[in-house]
């Protein structure tokens, strides 16, 4: 059955009642979320699969296989036009800043990668940078799939300042005061009045942008628990056996996710409610008004 026929049948079923309509929209929202998580989902599946089935005597180290597989996934996303080249460039930047932080943090004992590998920088196997790339890929893809628009978005430069300060704090707090509480407060002040408007099907929906940030950070934290359970990396609290990643890490992922989000805004400029998508030639649509 052709996809167009399936869509038509689904819409016909959804139109039979309000409950059907809500169920159809919720299912479509979930499918789009899952599709946006393609890179991250494949990487998690590979991490868990290799933990369970990778031969201990294999000539190729498990971590090195994950690097090769991650490169293949990224190439596939581009070849199949599931990711744009400008998005891939931004994701590459986040990959780079994530790897720099990984090298610094592992040198300070914040976490370790316990298995041997050849494709690594210091104590950091190169696949780790792709875990950061997964976050950037998700944000870039879900932005397009749900057609994000914003209500009362802050001045464009302000989120960049916040993101840079959050990134620097991951390094500087080892030598001076940890300002993350101030960063949390600043993000609440900056985005507290901002709503993201998204369209799962035909009807625009909206939610507080801060809530969206927290939910994304929560799912990253859950994925991190799965990654550490599969032995991809380990925290000091897990040296005597696996235990859940401390909930305090949720705050760190929130701040790091902000950096990824802000980097994505370099290619997906935040649009006002009522503002059209930019044309392929780079021109903008009608300005529209900020929703109040």
Mean local confidence (pLDDT), 170-196: 96
Looking at the domain assignment, is residue 147 inside a domain?
yes
5, 29, 19: which is closest to 201 by C-alpha? 29
Looking at the domain assignment, is residue 102 inside a domain?
yes
Looking at the domain assignment, is residue 273 inside a domain?
no
256, 272, 29: which is closest to 164 by C-alpha? 256
pTM for the model: 0.88
Q: Are 149 and 290 in contact (CB under 8 A)?
A: no
138, 154, 143, 99: which is closest to 121 by C-alpha? 99
Q: Are 249 and 129 in contact (CB under 8 A)?
A: no
Looking at the domain assignment, is residue 27 inside a domain?
no
Looking at the domain assignment, is residue 17 inside a domain?
no
Domain residues for 109? 35-264
Q: Are 158 and 188 in contact (CB under 8 A)?
A: no
In which order are the strands placed within the sheet that holds 149-151? 149-151, 195-198, 205-208
Instruction: Note the pLDDT of residue 291.
Output: 35
Phi, psi torsion values for 218, nearest 5 degrees: -65, -45
User: Tokens in use for 53?
Assistant: 């089935």
Per-residue CA distances from 236 to 60, 177, 240 (Å) = 27, 22, 9
Q: Are 181 and 240 in contact (CB under 8 A)?
A: no
**Termini Cα distance of the chain:** 44
Looking at the domain assignment, is residue 122 inside a domain?
yes
Q: Are 166 and 183 in contact (CB under 8 A)?
A: yes
Instruction: Note the pLDDT of residue 275.
Output: 67
pLDDT band (50, 70, 90) for residue 74: very high
Looking at the domain assignment, is residue 251 inside a domain?
yes
In angstroms, rounded to a whole number, what is the distance separating the alpha carbons of residues 28 and 22? 10
pLDDT band (50, 70, 90) for residue 4: low
Based on the structure, what is the number of domains in the chain? 1
Looking at the domain assignment, is residue 194 inside a domain?
yes
């Amino acid at each position: 059955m052709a996809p167009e026929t399936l869509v038509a049948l689904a819409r016909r079923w959804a139109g039979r009642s309000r409950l059907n309509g809500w169920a159809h929209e919720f299912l479509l929202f979930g499918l789009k979320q899952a599709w946006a998580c393609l890179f991250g989902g494949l990487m998690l599946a590979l991490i868990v699969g290799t933990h369970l089935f990778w031969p201990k005597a294999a000539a190729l180290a498990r971590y090195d296989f994950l690097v090769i597989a991650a490169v293949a996934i990224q190439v596939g996303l581009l070849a199949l036009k599931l990711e744009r080249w400008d998005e891939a460039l931004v994701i590459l930047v986040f990959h780079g800043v994530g790897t720099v932080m990984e090298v610094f943090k592992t040198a300070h004992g914040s976490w370790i990668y316990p298995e041997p590998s050849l494709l690594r920088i210091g104590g950091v196997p190169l696949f780790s940078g792709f875990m950061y790339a997964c976050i950037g890929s998700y944000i870039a893809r879900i932005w397009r799939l749900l057609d994000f628009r914003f209500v009362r978005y802050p001045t464009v430069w302000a989120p960049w300042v916040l993101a840079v300060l959050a990134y620097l704090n991951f390094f500087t707090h080892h030598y001076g005061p940890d300002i993350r509480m101030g960063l949390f407060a600043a993000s609440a002040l900056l985005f507290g009045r901002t709503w993201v408007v998204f369209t799962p099907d035909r009807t625009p929906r909206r939610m507080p942008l801060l809530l969206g940030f927290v939910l994304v950070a929560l799912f990253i934290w859950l994925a991190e628990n799965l990654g550490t359970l599969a032995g991809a990396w380990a925290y000091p609290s897990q040296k005597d056996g696996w235990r859940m990643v401390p909930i305090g890490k949720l705050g760190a992922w929130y701040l790091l996710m902000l950096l990824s989000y802000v980097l994505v805004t370099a290619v997906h400029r935040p649009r006002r409610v009522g503002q059209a998508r930019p044309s392929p030639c780079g021109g903008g649509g009608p300005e529209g008004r900020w929703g109040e």
